[in-house]
Amino acid sequence: MKLQKPYLLFVGDARDDLAAKTAFGVLDWSKDDCIGQFKLPGCASSLNLPELSMAEAAQQGAKTVLIGVAVPGGRIPESWTAPMVEALRRDMSIANGLHTPLDSIAEIRAAAASSEGELLEIREPPENLPVGKGTYRSGHRLLTVGSDCSVGKMYSALAITKELESRNIEVDFRATGQTGIFIAGSGIPVDAVVADFISGSIEQLCPAAPDSHWDVIEGQGALHHPSFAGVSLGLLHGAQPDALVLCHEPTRTNMRGLPNQPMPDLSDVMELYLASARIVCENTRFVGISVNTKHVEESNRIDLLGQLEKCYQLPAVDPFVTGVKELVDHLI
């Protein structure tokens, strides 16, 4: 899956900034790829970007309209049809990460048929994915893994990628979820892949590379999360990582979405990741802990990171607060 840049960010009639979370994520990490935003009447969110019509965006060279807004229940509002049709008439592609495919709307489907632009359904994995083989491949790979879901795995991977780039190390960010794919312009929606092909899809995503090169791979789910652990394990095997970064949110009392599932001990978490990773890469090691301290009192954040460092003998950072320099120092 490959998206053409630059992007026009479509925020539609977002009822607040949270609804436009995807657009904000793309803007945070790929500002240079975004030439403007498109809003509908009633939109209550605003990105710090010029507001453009579809005609203006096309004229200024936008290649792809990214749907950067969530919709309640996943249903695409009727008010979106006219601008989507207009975008296709101007030969821009539309990248959609919502559950509802755009071609389920007859007018959009018809417009796409006579457009040079394409409807890119981010949640539909490519066909003919291979079965994973676990065969050794060259190049270095780092995978961000979680003590739980939604603990900052994408954010950490992007921050590490940026830090490696700033040190002139050859690096690619490898996206495995919707927002990551928008940011990278390519990737694989691994949670939508058929179960037999999870590890194979990741082997394809981060192929053999020169030994001077790092792939920094966005993790998904968590080995201790009973809803999604299968995805996390297949991803881990496909990634064949030299280095793991443990992402963690220290204020959680239970696994996300599962009130009765207690948070596991971090030592157990690391042990299970290592035991599972060593099946495909015997030297896998943790190189740091990336903590989302957003919900920790500000005065306690640095102390908490210090405690984790001492306890696990690994750099503990909050990419948002301390940056990831210390972690990358330890990595290389």
Give the per-residue contact string, 145-184, with a copy of itself (x = CB under 8 A; - = no).
Answer: ----------------------------------------
* Footprint (CB under 8 A) of a copy of itself, residues 36-95: none
Q: Which is nearer to a copy of itself, 88 or 281 (CB)?
A: 281
Measured from the CB of residue 317, what is the shortest distance to a copy of itself in angstroms? Answer: 27
Residue 197's Cβ-side half-sphere holds a number of Cα atoms within 13 Å equal to 16
Q: Which is nearer to a copy of itself, 208 or 275 (CB)?
A: 275
**How many other CB atoms sit within 10 Å of the CB of residue 207?**
10
Binds a copy of itself by CB under 8 A, chosen from 196, 265, 297, 329: 196
Enumerate residues 6+ apart whose C-beta is below 8 A from 49. Answer: 9, 27, 34, 35, 36, 37
C-alpha to C-alpha distance for 145 and 324, rounded to whole angstroms: 16
DSSP summary character for residue 67: E
Q: Which is nearer to a copy of itself, 1 or 62 (CB)?
A: 1
Q: Which is nearer to a copy of itself, 137 or 325 (CB)?
A: 137
Enumerate residues 6+ apart whose C-beta is below 8 A from 168. Answer: none
Tell me if 128 contacts a copy of itself by CB under 8 A. no
* Crossing angle between the packed helical segments 106-113 and 81-89, to the nearest 10 degrees: 0
Collapse the DSSP code of 79 into the 3-class scheme (helix H, G, I; strand E, B; otherwise coil) and give the result.
Answer: helix
* Footprint (CB under 8 A) of a copy of itself, residues 247-306: 258, 260-261, 264, 268, 271-272, 275-276, 279-280
Q: Which is nearer to a copy of itself, 101 or 264 (CB)?
A: 264
Tell me if 234 contacts a copy of itself by CB under 8 A. yes
Pseudo-torsion of CA 171, 176, 179, 180, nearest 10°? Answer: 0
C-alpha to C-alpha distance for 101 and 99, rounded to whole angstroms: 6
Measured from the CB of residue 148, what is the shortest distance to a copy of itself in angstroms? Answer: 12
Collapse the DSSP code of 50 into the 3-class scheme (helix H, G, I; strand E, B; otherwise coil) and give the result.
Answer: coil
The two structure tokens encoding residue 174 = 């490898």
Measured from the CB of residue 135, what is the shortest distance to a copy of itself in angstroms? Answer: 6
* Crossing angle between the packed helical segments 301-312 and 266-277, to the nearest 10 degrees: 50
C-alpha to C-alpha distance for 143 and 242, rounded to whole angstroms: 8
Q: Which stretch binds a copy of itself (CB under 8 A): 13-21, 74-82, 185-193, 306-314?
A: 185-193
Tell me if 228 contacts a copy of itself by CB under 8 A. yes
Q: Under a CB-based contact definition with an 8 Å cutoff, are residues 160 and 327 in contact?
A: yes
Q: Which stretch binds a copy of itself (CB under 8 A): 16-24, 65-73, 178-186, 192-200?
A: 192-200
Measured from the CB of residue 234, what is the shortest distance to a copy of itself in angstroms? Answer: 3
Write out the residues near a copy of itself by the rule CB under 8 A: 131-136, 190-196, 198-200, 223-224, 226-235, 237-238, 258, 260-261, 264, 268, 271-272, 275-276, 279-280
